[in-house]
Amino acid sequence: MSRLTGFPTKRRRSPILLSAAALLMLPGGGGEPAYAKGLKEEILESRYDRGDYAFFIGWHDPWDWQFDEQGSYAWPVGLKVRVRLTDRFRAEGDFSYYRTSSETILTVSRFSAPQFDGLVMNMTLQGLLRTDGLIRPYVGGGVVFVSLANDFVVVRPDVRAADPGNPDQRTIAKWSQFDVGVQGVVGCDFMLLSRAFPFVEFRYISGELGIDDSDVKIGQFSLPSLELTFEELETVPEDGGFDSRGRNYEHGYDWSGPIVMVGLKIRF
């Protein structure tokens, strides 16, 4: 019993202890309990429980020697959306466009040749290795859908044979193909802000497509309709002012290679 109040001292201390505990739970209240960060994350996930979307830029370097001769690497830019399935699993889809040419990159201009264009759509299933903390790595895999197109300057041997001085012997040949491949993904989210956060991701995609004479167009006509073949189609000499690449597809066109992406994700 307290001699001043006549009440038990233990009851006198209880409100004080409860007030101190409440202060400790407040930001800046002398400390933060171990579960406070997890509670904050739970609140964010309950508010933005659908997933996240992202804007990114990447670097893609297929192994194929023909791609190296046409520009060495590309810079895909695009958008991705990741949907939350469970606490640890996400389904993601993204769409990107990339282009490389002898003159410029990151442009949709079709006035420079030769040039290489790609439209890529990826679908992956991702597993989060950590669901809390500042650094959250993840791994995954899935399929990739690719639409590739290549334009290259050539010399028409039939026109050259009929009139060697005819400037129309130089023309642009092109092919466009669709292919499906597979990919593996390793990435990391950096939770620097509550809703928006940067990420870095490494992918390896694997796929190869074949090109034959019927796929190559000169204007509205294909090579078979012109009675020409890849062997008969000559590229412009190096001194002709063009990067003379774009044929020899007997072994297919291998677009496999690594991709590195960096960007910003936003919860929604």
129-157 burial code (b ≥16 CB/10 A, e <16): eeeeeeebebebebebebebebbbbbbbe
Residue with tokens 């193909």: 177
Per the CB < 8 A criterion, the answer to whether 231 and 181 are in contact is no
Question: For residue 87, what are its two tokens?
Answer: 């606490």
Number of C-alpha atoms within 13 angstroms, CB side, residue 216?
26
Strands 221-222 and 170-190: unpaired
76 confidence band (pLDDT: 50, 70, 90): confident
Tell me which of 263 and 211 has the higher pLDDT: 263
Q: Does the pLDDT value for residue 246 go beyond 90?
A: no
| DSSP string of 36-95, one letter each residue | HHHHHHHHHHHHS-SEEEEEEEEEE--S-HHHHHHTS-B--EEEEEEEE-SSSEEEEEEE
180 confidence band (pLDDT: 50, 70, 90): very high
Per the CB < 8 A criterion, the answer to whether 250 and 259 are in contact is no
pLDDT score of 116: 66
pLDDT (tens digit per residue) in 105-130: 333 333 344 566 778 899 999 999 99
Q: Does the pLDDT value for residue 134 go beyond 80?
A: yes
Tell me which of 133 and 252 has the higher pLDDT: 133
Polymer length in residues for the chain: 268
Range 220-225 contact pairs with CB under 8 angstroms and sequence separation of 24 or more: none
Mean pLDDT across the chain: 75
Q: Does the pLDDT value for residue 179 go beyond 60?
A: yes
pLDDT score of 103: 44
End-to-end, the C-alpha distance of the chain in Å comes to 57
For the residues 187-195, what does the mean pLDDT come to? 92
User: Which stretch, 31-40, 139-148, 231-240, has highest mean pLDDT?
Assistant: 139-148
pLDDT score of 245: 47
Instruction: Please tell me the class of the 51-267 domain.
Output: mainly beta
Residue with tokens 């469970």: 86
- Domain edges within the chain: 51-267
pLDDT score of 189: 97
Q: Does the pLDDT value for residue 203 go beyond 90?
A: yes
- CA separation for the pair 190, 135 (Å, rounded): 5
Q: Which residues pair with 173 in a beta bridge?
A: 152, 218
pLDDT score of 84: 94
